[in-house]
Amino acid sequence: MDIRFVPYSAIDPARWNQCIRTSLNGLIYGRAEYLNTFCPQWDALIMGDYEAVMPLTSGKKWGIRYLYQPPFTQQLGVFGRSDAHIQQAFLQEARKRFRFAEIHLNFIHQDATTTRKHNQIIDLHKPYPELRKNYSDYTLRKLKQAGAATTSYREISAAQNILAYQQLFGLQTPHVPSSVYDRLNCFCLQYPELCLSRGLFLQDSLIASVTARRDERRIYLITLTAHDRKHYPWANHQLIDQLILEHAQQALVLDFEGSDLEGVFAFNAGFGAVNQPYLFCKWNDLPWPARLLKK
């Protein structure tokens, strides 16, 4: 099997993106411009003439190179021509080059030994009334509460929303440095066609907002922010309902990007989202005693 290591400088971004776009499991996380933003100087494993590819997002610590999952990048792994044999061959090749890895493999990967993580999606190709039939009773009650308020749903600045999200939730995620949000903001500014941001307003007050990435197949939620949850506990429900209404009957999937958190999983499922799990993959071939530091 012709799988070769290709350094960042030798990767053809046009051919790479063509492989991602035409793959059954093609996701925005694997596109060259996205990887360039969140893991500059990434390398790759490539099979044949870009028939299948695997980005190698690496870091270095104590002189040891390792694979890690970049921020705001839910799933990577093998894209393109892919079956269990090909996937295993790519992972074996990656393991030869990196002695430690903690990475997420996309939903098409097959491996019973790795940990499954939740990701929920809605196929939006049906008319809105049919999609709404899949809403839970709880979600419908929340939308009924919202119906008494005169709200408006419209496009907003992604930068404004990302900043608001960081201010509200940054303290809850101290492991995420501000530079990561800066990268997300830069991506939205540089590639506006790949981003979407919407707000729910009550008069002139922003009460809920969402920012997402978008490609030809999916809308991927990044931030969903209730700005006054105490007074408007239904705001996020109405915002997602309006997002579904806006994109109903389109050949798109709404990708909630999770979640393993019970409350978030229930919120997503309330709109009829179904689980499309992906895999957490880890190996540790570090020498002793470094192996003990990364159990």
Q: How many structural domains is the chain composed of?
A: 2
Query: What is the rounded distance in angstroms from the CA atom of residue 119 to the CA atom of residue 35?
Result: 20
Give the residue numbers spanning the domain of 78: 3-117+278-293
pLDDT, residue 179, reads: 86
Q: Which residue has the tokens 């119906």?
A: 147
Residues 176 and 81 in one domain: no
Q: Which residue has the tokens 């894209």?
A: 79
Residues 213 and 141 in one domain: yes
pLDDT, residue 163, reads: 80
From first to last of its 295 residues, what are the pLDDT tens digits of the chain? 799 999 999 999 999 999 999 999 999 999 999 999 999 989 999 999 999 999 999 998 878 899 999 999 999 999 999 899 999 999 999 999 999 999 999 999 988 678 999 999 999 999 999 999 999 999 999 999 988 788 999 999 888 788 877 877 665 565 677 888 889 989 999 999 999 999 999 988 999 999 999 999 999 998 898 888 888 999 999 999 999 999 999 999 999 998 888 999 999 999 999 999 999 999 999 887 666 555 5
Query: What is the rounded distance in angstroms from the CA atom of residue 247 to the CA atom of residue 129?
Result: 12
pLDDT, residue 294, reads: 58
Residues 262 and 289 in one domain: no
Residues 130 and 260 in one domain: yes
Residues 131 and 39 in one domain: no
pLDDT, residue 199, reads: 94
pLDDT, residue 75, reads: 97
Residues 111 and 141 in one domain: no
Residues 143 and 213 in one domain: yes
Query: What is the rounded distance in angstroms from the CA atom of residue 29 to the CA atom of residue 13?
Result: 14
Residues 72 and 157 in one domain: no
Residues 52 and 150 in one domain: no
Query: What is the rounded distance in angstroms from the CA atom of residue 139 to the CA atom of residue 164?
Result: 25
Secondary structure (H, E, C), the chain:
CCEEEECHHHCCHHHHHHHHHHCCCCCHHHCHHHHHHHCCCCEEEEECCCCEEEEECEEEECCEEEEECCCCCCCECCEECCCHHHHHHHHHHHHHHCCEEEEEECCCCCCCCCEEECCEEEECCCCHHHHHCCCCHHHHHHHHHHCCCCEEEEECCHHHHHHHHHHHHHHHCCCCCHHHHHHHHHHHHHCHHHEEEEEEEECCEEEEEEEEEECCCEEEEEEEEECCCCCCCCHHHHHHHHHHHHHCCCCCEEECCCCCCHHHHHHHHCCCCEECCEEEEEEECCCCCHHHHCC
Q: The CATH number of the domain where 284 resides is what?
A: 3.40.630
Residues 182 and 270 in one domain: yes
pLDDT, residue 158, reads: 85
Residues 76 and 126 in one domain: no
* Tokens at 214, concatenated: 């978008």
CA distances from 223 to 59, 72, 120, 152, 208 (A): 26, 10, 15, 19, 10
pLDDT, residue 270, reads: 97
The pTM of the full predicted model, rounded to 2 decimals, is 0.92
pLDDT, residue 175, reads: 67
Q: How far is CA 186 from the centre of its chain?
A: 17
Q: The CATH number of the domain where 258 resides is what?
A: 3.40.630.30
Residues 69 and 30 in one domain: yes
Amino acid letter for position 42: W
pLDDT, residue 293, reads: 56
In contact, 122 and 131? CB cutoff 8 Å: yes
